[in-house]
């Protein structure tokens, strides 16, 4: 077991006091038996800069007093220390940088922040280097920063490079960081994530008032959200601090519990090439796309005991639902492993779509070369429109033919993509669809664990600003009600303190019909706080590890 700690405290312009707090908390971490302690973003200075020149002046150098003092403290306690402090480069360049110090006081390495958030964009430059993972005596350690964790690519790179532990430095006011984004990043990558966030005011005095005026928020909304935490590979926090308290939380982590290899083994890098394409090329993919609009989204979950009962129930529920888009579970009328009577089900769905003037996405089985195919088929009033075949291997089946395409379809209410439940565990699949301009992803499912539904479904919607509608089998190993996650119609941080959380609509029961009307138009605004774009501000030139073939990735 490896004891680790994460800290939270109040940053500020009184840099001497801030450094003293870091050193004191490092003493406490060592006294508590930790071999590694992690600190938050902006340890050298708060993020209130007047311009790039100001940021450059306040940034540290690697041989300056802050890093020198932290190195000495690490040596004193034989302690690994992770922290974030802006570093000065050739004028006017300064970067937000994560640093890792070893127990001998050696400077192990750094990762620069790749995606900048809000006012950081006016002060710093984004990373001009690939992210790295560092071999240490306590495991392979990667580092990311705050906004880097609101998109999937930076943390995914750490997993592709073989990280066991990822240190996430935050300077965030958003309560959804701790409740959604950090657990989701740990779970989808199967590693431990240690996050450290600030508490208290970002700045003091007139600077605080200026920040409040610029943000249009009250003082409470520009305070750090705290909740520094240590999260396991299943997305479950092992320890989490409060919103307000200064100090440390500890956890004992067991690296034999890593699930990274299982997650990485089922990836399909050859299908993710669009993630490496320049963002400027994406406009061509959405040219001529019809406007996104309102649509009635319905989840249909039959509960009959036989094929005939389930098919009849599904057809009756679709016919009674408002016209729009209805989504059924995986293999919605079949027992697992059965694929008989496909023609009968297809005929019924085609006829129902035509009579009801609606669109349907149904999970259907198939066979190819004697092996099973898991499909999501899109029907419309005009008949069968297209299908998607699951692209990621099902760990419960060793005889499955995988698809090799991520198609999109233009419908009267917007552009739609299709996935199946297992695919939501892989952020690349939804990311490719988002880069193709989908407004909505329909996802027949059969959920296996809570975190698949609670974290992956929600995270995929949030990080891409797309609506996801999912219906899951009533007899799934982890039954969940029909769920629709969607981008809010306006930016709600001033009301909710959530930086990037979707609206989440859930059916009142596991089976039956659930309908919600959704306006897909807000999905086309990919910005957070009117600035950082979840798609166009990503860094495709830094994602080589995500696109590399498996043989080139460290074990």
What is the signed CA dihedral for 268, 455, 169, 14, rounded to 10 degrees?
160
Q: Which CATH class is domain 293-526?
A: alpha beta
Distances (CA, A) of 402 to 267, 364, 366, 387: 12, 14, 11, 13
The candidate with the shortest Cα–Cα distance to 462, out of 497, 499, 492, is 499
Q: Please enumerate in sequence order all residues whose Cβ is within 8 A of that of 548, keeping only pairs 6 or more positions apart, or say none.
A: 160, 269
Domain residue ranges of the chain, discontinuous segments joined by +: 2-266, 293-526
Percent pLDDT > 70 in the chain is 95
Distance CA 402, CA 400 (A): 6
- Alpha-carbon distance of 146 to 43, in angstroms, equals 13
Per-residue model confidence (pLDDT) at position 251:
98
Q: Order of strands across the sheet with 237-240? A: 133-136, 139-145, 165-169, 192-196, 229-231, 237-240
Query: Span 10-23, mean pLDDT?
Result: 91
Per-residue pLDDT reduced to its tens digit, 129-159: 999 999 999 999 999 999 999 999 999 999 9
Using a 10 angstrom Cβ sphere, with 0-12 exposed, 13-18 middle and 19 or more buried, the burial of residue 205 is: exposed
C-alpha count within 13 angstroms, C-beta hemisphere, residue 157: 26
Q: How many CB atoms lie within 10 A of CB 358?
A: 21
**pTM given for the model:** 0.94
Of the pLDDT bands very low, low, confident and very high (cuts 50, 70, 90), residue 497 is: confident
As a whole number of angstroms, the distance between CA 79 and CA 101 comes to: 8
Neighbouring residues of 459: CB distance < 8 A, sequence distance ≥ 6: 152, 180, 181, 184, 188, 427
Percent of the chain past pLDDT 90, that is, above it, reads 85
Q: How far apart are CA 118 and CA 530, in angstroms?
A: 8
Confidence of residue 13 (pLDDT cuts 50, 70, 90): confident
Given this chain, do its domains 2-266 and 293-526 carry the same CATH topology? yes
Task: Please determine, for residue 46, whether its predicted confidence score (pLDDT) is greater than 80.
Answer: no
Query: What mean pLDDT do residues 320-342 have?
Result: 94
Does the pLDDT at position 395 exceed 90?
Answer: no
Q: How many helices (H) and strands (E) does the chain have?
A: 16, 30
Q: Is the pLDDT of residue 205 over 70?
A: no
Tell me the three state secondary structure of residue 522. helix
Q: Return the structure tokens found at 12.
A: 């500020």
Cis peptide before 379 (omega within 30 of 0): no
Pick 2-266's CATH classification: 3.90.1720.10, 3.30.360.10, 3.60.110.10, 3.30.70.120. 3.60.110.10
Distant-in-sequence, close-in-space partners of 22: CB < 8 Å, separation ≥ 6: 7, 9, 39, 43, 70, 73, 83
Cα angle 505-423-272, degrees, rounded to a multiple of 5: 120
Question: Does residue 210 register a pLDDT over 80?
Answer: no
- pLDDT above 90 for 209: no
Residue with tokens 């007139």: 206
């Amino acid at each position: 077991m490896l004891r680790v700690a994460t800290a939270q405290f109040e940053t500020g312009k009184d840099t001497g006091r801030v450094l003293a707090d870091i050193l004191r908390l490092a003493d406490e971490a060592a006294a508590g038996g930790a071999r590694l302690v992690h600190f938050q973003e902006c340890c050298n200075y708060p993020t209130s800069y007047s311009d790039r020149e100001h940021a450059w002046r306040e940034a540290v150098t690697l041989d300056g007093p802050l890093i020198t003092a932290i190195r000495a403290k690490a040596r004193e306690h034989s302690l690994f220390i992770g922290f974030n402090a802006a570093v000065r480069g050739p004028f006017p360049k300064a970067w937000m940088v994560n640093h890792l110090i070893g127990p001998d006081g050696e400077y192990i390495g750094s990762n620069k922040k790749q995606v900048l958030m809000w006012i950081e964009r006016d002060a710093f430059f984004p990373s001009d280097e690939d992210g790295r993972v560092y071999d240490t005596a306590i495991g392979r350690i990667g580092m990311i920063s705050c906004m880097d964790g609101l998109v999937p690519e930076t943390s995914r790179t750490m997993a592709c490079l073989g990280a066991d532990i990822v240190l996430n430095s935050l300077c965030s006011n958003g309560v959804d960081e701790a409740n959604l984004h950090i657990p989701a990043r740990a779970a989808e990558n199967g590693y431990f994530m240690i996050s450290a966030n600030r508490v208290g005011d970002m700045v003091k005095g007139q600077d605080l008032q200026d920040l409040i005026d610029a943000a249009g928020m009250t003082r409470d909304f520009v305070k750090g959200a705290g909740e520094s935490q240590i999260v396991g590979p299943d997305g479950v926090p092992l320890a989490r601090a409060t919103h307000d308290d200064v100090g440390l939380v500890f956890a004992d982590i067991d690296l034999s519990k890593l699930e990274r290899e299982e997650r990485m083994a089922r990836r399909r890098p050859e299908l993710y090439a669009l993630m490496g394409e320049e963002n400027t090329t994406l406009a061509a993919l959405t040219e001529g796309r019809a406007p996104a609009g309102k649509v009635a989204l319905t989840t249909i979950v039959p509960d009959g005991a036989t094929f005939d009962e389930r098919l009849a129930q599904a057809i009756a529920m679709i016919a009674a639902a408002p016209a729009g888009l209805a989504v059924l579970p995986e293999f919605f009328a079949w027992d697992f492993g059965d694929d008989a009577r496909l023609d009968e089900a297809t005929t019924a769905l085609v006829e129902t779509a035509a009579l009801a003037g609606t669109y349907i996405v149904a999970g259907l089985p198939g066979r190819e070369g004697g092996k099973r195919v898991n499909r999501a088929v899109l029907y419309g009033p005009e008949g069968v429109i297209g299908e998607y075949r699951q692209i990621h291997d099902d760990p419960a089946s060793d005889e499955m033919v995988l698809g090799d395409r991520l198609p999109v379809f233009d419908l009267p209410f917007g552009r739609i993509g299709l996935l199946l439940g297992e695919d939501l565990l892989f952020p690349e699949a939804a990311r490719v669809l988002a880069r193709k301009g989908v407004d909505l992803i329909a996802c027949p499912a059969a959920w296996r664990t809570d975190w698949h539904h609670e974290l992956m479904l929600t995270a995929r919607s949030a990080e891409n600003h797309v609506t996801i509608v999912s219906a899951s089998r009533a007899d799934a190993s982890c039954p969940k009600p029909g769920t629709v996650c969607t981008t809010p119609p306006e930016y709600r941080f001033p009301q909710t303190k959530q930086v990037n959380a979707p609206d989440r609509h859930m059916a009142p029961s596991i089976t039956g019909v659930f309908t919600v009307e959704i306006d897909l138009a807000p999905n086309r605004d990919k910005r957070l706080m009117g600035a950082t774009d979840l798609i166009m501000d990503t860094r495709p030139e830094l994602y080589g590890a995500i696109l590399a073939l498996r043989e080139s990735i460290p074990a």
